[in-house]
Chains A and B, each alone.
Chain A
């Protein structure tokens, strides 16, 4: 107990409240700090697994999940004898259900958890998660949303979405790396057992038994990334200075421009042509390896990501070994998109 530590704690808790307000959670203690989306989903999977999963139960995910929303579920399914089921993806990169916003055909009476990405990092697809969550909840299925790619681009209102858990990373929201959030509905978080044990998460420890701290500390074992969390709070406040709808409209304009211009390149195929997309455009070009193209774009000062984007099952679905992916943020410009297109053309010319 000293002045500096009190100030640090106050600043951290102020960040928690900023995030609560930003995602419209009811309580600040529904915001749990983690090291990122991956840690958030691992927490969710391990704790929910212990709470819910029995032999023969099912966890439902989609075919467009990031490895971070596949592997933790695979691990707990194996532990409890549960099955991992997958909603397939269409050629456009949307969820396969006959009506794209109806997943009920994939729910069974053994489905305990439905974990779905809000926005696909590889395809850019925005999933109709509000409708999907409502259907799952009607059947008593716990819903977990991977919001890593949504938090900086869409208005995320967890009460309106109705999800049980919502995970995102600080560095996808213009904040520092090594920070992340797991939002959880209070009633569920109270029932969920802690995942990691250690300091800060306890109430009373004896060698016979330990009782756990209240929310959110029950899930925050160890010294938190205090400086990072304060930075994340500031990044969220910075985002709130701007109108998210205007940001999204700007990013959409960049996406449309890039799509139109890139498609003029001979042999270029866009992977992910859903009706509703964020500003992400992944593509392959016949006869051009994404690693080569990424290297040549890098030489021109253009930062793209190449490879499987931590979505290997999705690469297999589309029959490609990897893609080149450009993604647009609110600060990008039309001129930068033009530079990208010119850069790709130059790269292709060198490689063919």
Chain B
């Protein structure tokens, strides 16, 4: 299933609910299925800071058994607010175990389509908008540095771009730092 198909699946799933209460109850339930971040990764370095609700995000890169020449990113996460956690669970469900290229090319429009757009607005006082940026940043980091394995924290990503020399990685990270999104159309 492609990311687009996975997103459509979410949209279809939410279309079953006719009122806000059912929609939010479903979202809260989804939050309970979120692949939880391991305690040792639930650190300040992995905290995506929002004003009100906090989100912890961790990424690992791995090679699926059936495809030896491809690497995919595996996310785990948590939040202290249940609705935030539900939306995080949706994003992780859609983005999980995808290649960096797939993640970089994906939009988050499906969140608008299920009526949760307000939660992703950059003005909104939560970590969600920053979290999407962070997922893309992981993807960018893993895609432009194919020899690297293992797991990196947001702090590492932000720090490392200061010390690296010129190259695709450095240019890309500079763009991220300036607040532009290289993955935007």
Contact = CB atoms under 8 A, between A and B. Distances in A.
A350 B84 contact: no
A161 interface: no
A291 B83 contact: yes
Nearest to A288: B82
A306 B24 CA distance: 18
A299 B51 contact: no
Contacts of A295: 24, 83, 119
Nearest to A290: B52
A9 B40 CA distance: 64
A289 B85 CA distance: 11
A300 to B, nearest CB: 8
Contact of A351 (B20, B28, B51, B119): B28
Contacts, number: 42
Interface string A303-328: 00011100000000000011000000
Interface in A267-317: 289-292, 295-296, 299, 306-308
In this complex, which of A295, A322, A346 has the most chain B Cβ atoms within 10 angstroms of its Cβ?
A: A295
Contact of B125 (A292, A307, A351): A307
B21 A350 contact: yes
Consensus secondary structure, chain B interface? helix
B25 interface: yes
B52 A299 contact: no
Nearest to B50: A291
A188 B125 CA distance: 40
Contacts of B28: 350-351
B80 A350 contact: no
Given A291-B52, A306-B52, A307-B51, A299 B20 contact: yes
B82 A292 contact: yes
B22 to A, nearest CB: 10
B126 interface: yes
Contacts of B83: 291-292, 295-296
Contacts of B155: none
Nearest to A294: B52
A289 B20 contact: no
Interface string B118-155: 01000001100000000000000000000000000000
Interface of A: 289-292, 295-296, 299, 306-308, 321-322, 346, 350-351
Given A299-B20, A307-B51, 13 more contacts: A289-B53, A289-B82, A290-B52, A291-B52, A291-B81, A291-B126, A292-B81, A296-B83, A299-B21, A299-B24, A308-B52, A346-B21, A351-B28
